[in-house]
Structure 1
Amino acid sequence: MPCTTMGSWSSALAPEKETVVDAIKALADPGLREAARERLAGWGSAAVGPLLDELLGADSPVPHGQIEFVLAKRIGPVAFDGVQAALAAAGDEESRRHVSRVFVALRTVDRYVAALSHPSAEVRNSAAYGIQCACSVAFGREPNPDVDYALVIDALTPLLADPDPDVAQRAEWVLTMLGPGVVERMRDVRVHGPGNLRSRALSVLASVGGEEALSPADRAAVERLIRIKVLDDRAQPLDTCSTSWIAVPTGDQRGIVEVLGLFEARPATFELGLNVGMHDSHDGAEYGRVYVTPEVDGWTLVLGPWCNPVDPERAEDVLRVVTELSRRYGRAQAYYYGEQGGGAGWLVVEDGTVVRRFGSYWSDDGARYTVGGPLPEERDACVEEGITPVGDPGADDEEWADLAAYLSPQLADQLGVSPLDLGPRNSVRGIGAVALTPYAREHGRPHTGAYAI
């Protein structure tokens, strides 16, 4: 049923119902739309209830965006109370989504701050999101000059322990976007409590300022927790969407670290390694850090964009270090796999000799990376797919390129161990580590953040 939120909106000073309804219906006609917007804006609060009824109506011919625009941009803050009431009363997800868009677009920070204590979790969540949209300084945005950021931070902080987990998560996200002013407030929570805020306050600190924002006591506590967890660590998939890794058939983690020139290796669980890998693979490749697994079924994997064998910036150096690893351990491999059409690449080296390097991208045939002839496993994959094997007379280059773009996880599994297919069945010996790469020596340490352990 449509939700009427303004009660009886007709009065001696309000327009007749038919007039408001007619103006709303006119929003569906591009030729009448602007005049209708002006009339509805002029009626102000008297038009809010009917507009919300139309927005939530099941069969309205008026585009939702037109109604949302009038409420948020033409009527504006005057509509706040009515929109908030509609949001609290919305009985289904679609209705909540439509009304929340209006609520967030009102950009009234002081009203959002007050709404953070509303009984409705949906209102609290949308109010926090409204603050995010109006106040965020993430990604280089300038601070909102009309906002008292200290007041906003103080108002959001209690929501870190909100009984609704979605609200608590939203508050954490928003606090990480409000700039360095949040650091002292979160440090205060870490020291003085209340206790139910401390855990998320630590995550906010790590997200805003990385490890450097943590107190010595917090850093020591995190390191102790990691040392405890790695003792009973279990293998899990290391799928970062754009995943690059080096694979070596040995448990000699220290020797691999030496050959690769890694430094400042620190204990890390699979979960931590995955989170670091995801962070370093998104929003631009981070070459300064890798996760080195414990021995998994006789193999050690090194995970991170630095390991990509077909990255224009990394290909030759990866070729060099994988060749060095193969001289010491007999074999070594490197792979790249980008999900959702991101391409694939692989490098296989034995006893210092490159057996095969190949890369396949949608926008690039990868020919400049190709070394050596097709592997038997590549040809078998073609047969399985029902196409002429790569390298045979009559093979179709486009068919092969389409198949190859998804092939690296399968090849890694056939030739050794794939990080995308790890799980409890895999035998694990030793402990993993996160380490810095030679790239970090030249270009600076990577930024740290909040990672799951």
Structure 2
Amino acid sequence: MHHHGPSEQRVPEKETMVDAIKALADPDLREAARERLAERGVDVVRALLDELLDETSAVPQWEIETLLAKRIGPAAFDEVTAALVAAEGEESRRRVSRVFTRFGAVDCYVVALTHPSARVRGSAAYGIQSVCSVAFGREPQPDVDYALVIDALIPLLADPDPDVAQRAEWVLTMLGPGVEERMRDIRVQGPGNLRAQALTVLAAVGGEEALSAADRATVERLIRIKGRDEPAQSLDTCSTSWIAVPTGDQQGVVELLGLYEARPATFALGLSVGGHDSHDGAEYGRVYVTPEVDGWTLVLGPWCNPVDPDRAEDVLRVVSELSRRYGRAQAYYFGEQGGGSGWLVAEGGAVVRRFGSYWDDDGARFTVGEPLPEERAACIEEGVVPVGDPGADEDEWTDLAAYLAPTLAGQLGVSPMDLGPHTTVRGVGAVALTPYAREHGRPCTGAYAI
């Protein structure tokens, strides 16, 4: 920096920079301030980052993000990287990481994949995902050398930081057809420390069709061995739908529901499939069928949702049929974080009760039958007038009902949320395709914890 004579002459310049940054908070002054700051380029990066990290600042975060990542651009990359390494606390890290992943500079990200800081490596992988992903029908970037990006990401599959390794695995599944061949090479030639992850990526990218016969056999063998003495675990995805039948006749349930291509699956795999299938839009093509748990068999997946407008009619039919064969059968839906609840209870071939409660909709169109004794008991426990009684408050009941599915499931049978080491398990679970998949095509497999 060249000297401007006595230091007091330089103070106004510093002031104007701070003033310009503060002016970003004022819609009338914003445009001019942006221009002044963008012209100063790399000299204002530090001051902009300080403002970004000041949680009391009135300047919108996205104003600073855009200036750094888009206007000043890659010239600011090194300083933003340093700030990411130095950031303390979750919120500060999040703010700097957002700038870092918005540069869109693939060559900078590729270099940063080998940075000593795990935080930088993980954010660089995410930055690559943002620019290069071809998932969900996106077009590849014409100016990106995908082969080079893939090769740069591969070593991160064995990253000592599990979050970085997981991110690298996800990003590789989004980079298109070039990935499969590289993963096949690793399965055959190594390196050995990447073989297991390469199998996961392959399964995610190409589904089972992408696996060699030997690899497919490896996966099934692993599952059978793990499934033999695996303790039950809670099957709690953020949004869970399931059918519950009081029987150990897994085969009979599978046949009656018209499920096919059942493959052995551990609880961990079932949970992983369930999470995947309910997060990325409802996947009706596949379900997880538990082994016998405390005398019940549970079938999990969005296909089982008794109060999903697309599924309600069919679920009512199959649960009634199951109850004809096994005496009783139920179906439930539970969405955490206010996603609502639904239940369907059938006995001897007839529906006893169906009810749905959502925040955005009264769910009334799904109501069948009179309130169950367990529903009334839940009201009494909450200190509200029981549903169905004179003077019952409809709103109080719907608020309570929105959380009720797991409780009712536990009272009327076995709830998937309550499974654990204490549960008596017989047999091995399975992942199977539903009749929906016959009509609408197979689900994309996705990679799962085995």
Give TM-score scaled by structure 2 length.
0.91
The alignment covers a number of residue pairs equal to 443
1:401 is matched with which residue: 398, 401, 426? 398
**Which residue matches 2:18?**
24
Q: Deviations over 1:179-207 (max 9, x none)?
A: 22211112212211111122222222222
**Which residue matches 2:434?**
437
2:116 partner SS: coil
2:144 partner SS: coil
User: Quick check: 1:308 aligned with 2:305?
Assistant: yes
2:308 partner SS: coil
**Which residue matches 1:236?**
233
**Which residue matches 2:122?**
125
Q: What is the distance in 1 between the residues matched to 2:414 and 2:115? A: 52
Are 2:21 and 2:48, in contact at CA under 8 Å, matched by a contact in 1? no
Q: 1:55 Cα deviation (Å)? A: 4.7
**Which residue matches 1:413?**
410
Q: What is the distance in 2 between the residues matched to 1:100 and 1:52? A: 11
Pick closer, same or farther for the CA change 1:371–1:48 going to 2, 3 Å: closer
Q: What is the distance in 2 between the residues matched to 1:360 and 1:172? A: 38
Q: What is the distance in 2 between the residues matched to 1:197 and 1:244? A: 35
Q: What is the distance in 1 between the residues matched to 2:55 and 2:394? A: 52
Q: Which shows bigger deviation, 389-398 or 224-233?
A: 389-398
User: Quick check: 1:179 aligned with 2:173?
Assistant: no
Q: 1:37 Cα deviation (Å)? A: 2.8
**Which residue matches 1:42?**
39
Q: Which shows bigger deviation, 204-213 or 60-69?
A: 60-69
**Which residue matches 2:363?**
366
Q: 1:348 Cα deviation (Å)? A: 1.5
**Which residue matches 1:6?**
none
Q: 1:154 Cα deviation (Å)? A: 0.9
Q: 1:20 Cα deviation (Å)? A: 4.3
Q: What is the distance in 2 between the residues matched to 1:87 and 1:161? A: 22
Are 2:81 and 2:100, in contact at CA under 8 Å, matched by a contact in 1? yes
Q: Alpha carbon RMSD of aligned pairs, Å? A: 2.3
Please, which runs of 5 or more residues in structure 2 have no aligned partner?
Answer: none
Please, which runs of 5 or more residues in structure 1 have no aligned partner?
Answer: 1-8
Q: What is the distance in 2 between the residues matched to 1:350 and 1:80? A: 65
Q: Which shows bigger deviation, 39-48 or 59-68?
A: 59-68
Q: What is the distance in 2 between the residues matched to 1:283 and 1:117? A: 31
**Which residue matches 1:170?**
167
Pick closer, same or farther for the CA change 1:432–1:156 going to 2, 3 Å: same
Are 2:20 and 2:36, in contact at CA under 8 Å, matched by a contact in 1? no
User: Quick check: 1:248 aligned with 2:242?
Assistant: no
Q: Deviations over 1:131-172 (max 9, x none)?
A: 222222223322222211111111111121222333222222
Give TM-score scaled by structure 1 length.
0.91
Q: What is the distance in 1 between the residues matched to 2:47 and 2:29? A: 18
1:27 partner SS: helix
Q: 1:416 Cα deviation (Å)? A: 1.0
Q: 1:93 Cα deviation (Å)? A: 4.8
Pick closer, same or farther for the CA change 1:183–1:330 going to 2, 3 Å: same
**Which residue matches 1:3?**
none
**Residue 172 of structure 1 aligns to which amino acid in structure 2?**
E
2:101 partner SS: helix
**Which residue matches 1:342?**
339
Query: Equivalences for 1:263-282 in 2 at 5 Å?
Result: 263-282=260-279
Q: What is the distance in 2 between the residues matched to 1:173 and 1:20? A: 44
Using the aligned pairs only, state the percent identity.
Answer: 77
Pick closer, same or farther for the CA change 1:67–1:404 going to 2, 3 Å: closer
Q: Which shows bigger deviation, 16-25 or 151-160?
A: 16-25
